[in-house]
Amino acid sequence: MAELKYEFEHPRKAFGWAARDASGVLSPFNFSRRETGEHDVTFKVMYCGICHSDLHMLKNEWGVSVYPLVPGHEIAGLVTEVGSKVEKFKVGDKVGVGCMVGSCRSCESCYDDLENHCPKHIVTYGAKYVDGTITYGGYSDFMVADEHFVIRIPDALPLDAAAPLLCAGITVYSPLRYYGLDKPGFHVGVVGLGGLGHMAVKFAKAFGAKVTVISTSPNKKKEAIEHLGADSFIVSREQDQMQAAIGTMDGIIDTVSAQHPLAPLIGLLKSNGKLVLVGGPPKPLELPAYSLLSGRKMVGGSTIGGMKETQEMIDFAAKHNLKPDIEVIPVDYVNTALERLLKADVKYRFVIDISNTLKPTTS
């Protein structure tokens, strides 16, 4: 079998679910992982969140996917072994790995604790690692990672709820901080109420902001205000609602991963306001330059955060009892879950119960 080589690439047998091609369909997969190196942490995967980018990667919508592909970059588990030079972790610790497992550690971005912006950063799955082999993600039984890229999960956070924070959480926390939208009394808009959007609402409220959810779905209004704590809700297709909110927001976090117009959102900003994109639509968005000129407005972007900030984020979440709303599923439901995710049929993050439902098969 062609897949046998993946089983013997490294010394330790591993098991997970992988897609073999751009159909994106996942099925059981025997592969292997490296031994625990002197700076490595090995941990049993307990839970792994399903991110919207898993969908893009499974179907090769960004044109960079490598098959077989084991997705998953919201990974939480328990340490089973540490290398001889590991200083921060011990066996039994609650830990997680997010979107990256390596960087050059010597460039300006790395020195500034912004490993996510390192030109040589290595993502958790579907990338070439320093040893030349391809990385595999958290839809699997265990992980081995350099301790620098491992996050300590506070005791106050359950592992299933902690997992999505490692991507969805940091993806919205970082721009709220960097773009100065973490100030009490600021008015922050959140576009899209999915896995990212619902966490953006929770973090912005914890920072003391007034939060308005902007959505195409009127049926999400009650949930946004009564359950998630948003202050107001705008249906973006209703021109009168959009018109009434023109020039009222200090900043907007746009979490939408599909094609959508930016000009109406820019119109909602105050002078010097910031529209920050954190979603990844597969095709370019249209940006009318004139909408930025009047009011000196800004369109920016953000992708996850460095390791220091990610630890800060998860500690903040634990302190303020901020947890994603999750639907825990068995691994054999994953293909159905991905179909539902495509239709935004989840509140608000699927999390795979790896430890109780991932059962190895024989080759």
Window from 21-25, 62-66, 270-274 with minimum mean pLDDT: 62-66
pLDDT confidence band for 363 (50 / 70 / 90): very low
| Per-residue pLDDT at 283 | 84
User: What gap in Å lies between CA 43 and CA 22, rounded to an integer?
Assistant: 29
Average pLDDT estimate for 202-230: 95
Report whether 285 contacts 260 (CB < 8 A): yes
For 135-150, the pLDDT digits (tens) are 999 999 999 999 999 9
> Rounded to whole angstroms, how far apart are CA atoms 127 and 122?
6
pTM over 0.85: yes
Percent of the chain with pLDDT over 70: 98
Helices (H), 112-157: none
In tens, the pLDDT along 23-63 reads: 999 999 999 999 999 999 999 999 999 998 899 999 998 89
Long-range CB contact pairs, 6-9, < 8 A, 24+: 6/30, 6/31, 6/32, 6/68, 7/31, 7/32, 7/363, 8/32, 9/133
In this structure, how many other beta carbons lie within 10 angstroms of the beta carbon of residue 72?
28
Determine the average pLDDT of the residues in 219-245. 95
Better-scored residue on pLDDT, 38 or 1? 38
Calpha distance 109→123 (Å, rounded): 16
pLDDT at 89 over 70: yes
Cα angle 144, 149, 153 (rounded to 5 degrees) comes to 90
Which among 263, 331, 283 has a CA at the least distance from the CA of 71? 331
**What are 4-21's pLDDT values in tens digits?**
678 778 889 999 999 999
How far is the C-alpha of 119 from the C-alpha of 14, rounded, in Å? Answer: 29
The whole-number pLDDT of residue 324 equals 96
Separation CA 210–CA 189 (nearest Å): 8
Contact yes or no for 301/172 (Cβ under 8 A) = no
pLDDT in tens, 324-357: 999 999 999 999 999 999 888 888 899 999 999 9
